[in-house]
Amino acid sequence: MKIVLIGAGNVATHLGRKLVETGEKVVQVYSRSLPNAAELANSLGAKPFDDLFGLTAKADLYIIAVSDDAIAEVVKKLGQMPLEEKLVVHTSGATPSKVFESAPTLERTGICYPLQTFTKGKPIDFSEVPICVDAAQPADLEVLESLAKKISQHVYHVNDAQRAWLHVAAVFVNNFTNHLFEIGHSILKKQQLPFEMLLPLIQETVAKLDSGSPKAMQTGPAVRQDWTTTERHLTMLNGRGDLQEIYRILTKHIKRTHADNWKH
Ligand SMILES: NC(=O)c1ccc[n+]([C@@H]2O[C@H](COP(=O)([O-])OP(=O)(O)OC[C@H]3O[C@@H](n4cnc5c(N)ncnc54)[C@H](OP(=O)(O)O)[C@@H]3O)[C@@H](O)[C@H]2O)c1
């Protein structure tokens, strides 16, 4: 397959590398900044470009991997190019397929959303990344599924509604969890303790999920109904901005989630 990458950021970089590694040909890489496009393009044996209208119409697949807010604008521009018979996909979990409606000339559209957190300089085993695919036409779904299976062992057909909820879930388990790590980090820093002390706990919290559901693995004062401890913590967090509220909300939610267990 000849592929054009529109975007030269985190996802374009990781996806581009993996596609090339598996034998696909990335022919062009777009960025608004030519040096950015060139940096990725050179590593993939592709040509860089910084004007979308300089895009080749001779590729088979166009992957839009730009910031969510820029997808609509890029789609609109692609709609003005002779790409009627070409497959155009975006990589966003948060953006519905409706975004392609602004370019009715694009008849073959889809989504290829890799469900992982990507950062340019941080290597990742792409074969373990779940890839969520969807397409406007069944034949294109097959194309995307077979391409995705070349780069990952975990490929799912996920529709728009499912993907939107998947993204909400991803924000909870990744973005919010990481923010909780940051809270832990700042609490320890104030006590002149190293964050490394929490790392085995963090790692075991995730490792334990191999043995059972998150609900089954829950520990801590809220699930034990140790209300003296939770009250003590709330008192300690008095005057510490939002921390007391976050603690209270999460404790209440754990309590509700496990209320059924206590009835029996
Ligand atoms: N990072 C992740 O963990 C992750 C995971 C799954 C899916 N995604 C999705 O993948 C997509 C790309 O994310 P990313 O993390 O790779 O983003 P990123 O590293 O921030 O890169 C964003 C890219 O978008 C380009 N861009 C920004 N505004 C633009 C505009 N107005 N017109 C044209 N190009 C523009 C930037 O171009 P310049 O070089 O010109 O600034 C850059 O190449 C997003 O839809 C995101 O939701 C991200």
> 238-247, pLDDT tens digit by residue?
999 899 999 9
Give the integer Cα–Cα distance in Å for 199 and 3.
40
What is the number of the ligand 1 atom nearest to the C-alpha of 64? 11
pLDDT at 150 over 80: yes
Which protein residue's CA is at the shortest distance from atom 7 of ligand 1? 92
Sorted by where each starts, the structural domains of the chain and their CATH numbers stand as 2-158 (3.40.50.720), 164-263 (1.10.1040.20)
66 Cβ inside 6 Å of ligand 1: yes
For the chain, the average pLDDT equals 96
Locate the DSSP E strands across 139-210: 155-157
pLDDT for residue 259: 87
Residues 174-214: pLDDT tens digits? 999 999 999 999 999 999 999 999 999 999 999 999 999 99
Alpha helix ranges (H) inside 208-242 = 214-217, 221-224, 227-236
Q: Phi, psi at residue 121, to the nearest 5°?
A: -85, 0
Residue 164: which pLDDT band, with cuts at 50, 70 and 90? very high
Give the integer Cα–Cα distance in Å for 15 and 151.
9
Of the chain, the end-to-end C-alpha distance in Å amounts to 58
Cα 97 to chain centroid, rounded: 16
Residues 52-86: pLDDT tens digits? 999 999 999 999 999 999 999 999 999 999 999 99
Q: Which residues does residue 29 pair with via DSSP β-bridges, in sequence order? A: 5, 48
pLDDT for residue 263: 56
64 close to 89: Cβ distance less than 8 angstroms: yes
Which protein residue's CA is at the shortest distance from atom 18 of ligand 1? 9
Find the 19 Cα to ligand 1 centroid distance in Å.
18
Residues 81-108: pLDDT tens digits? 999 999 999 999 999 999 999 999 999 9
Give the integer Cα–Cα distance in Å for 199 and 71.
37
Q: Among 79, 155, 74, 72, which residue's Cα sits nearest to residue 112?
A: 155
DSSP state of 176: I
Percent of the chain scored above 70 by pLDDT?
99
Find the 7 Cα to ligand 1 centroid distance in Å.
6
3-state secondary structure of 159: coil
Percent of the chain scored above 90 by pLDDT?
97
Give the integer Cα–Cα distance in Å for 186 and 34.
39
pLDDT at 128 over 70: yes
Residue 260: which pLDDT band, with cuts at 50, 70 and 90? confident
The preferred substitution site among 10, 34, 39, 174 for testing ligand 1, maximizing ligand atoms within 8 Å of CB, is: 10
State the average pLDDT over residues 210-221: 96
Q: Any residues with CB less than 8 A from the CB of 170 and at least 6 apart, and which?
A: 93, 115
Q: Which residues does residue 136 pair with via DSSP β-bridges, in sequence order? A: none
Residue 264: which pLDDT band, with cuts at 50, 70 and 90? very low
Locate the DSSP E strands across the chain: 2-6, 25-30, 47-49, 61-64, 87-90, 108-114, 131-135, 155-157
Residue 262: which pLDDT band, with cuts at 50, 70 and 90? low
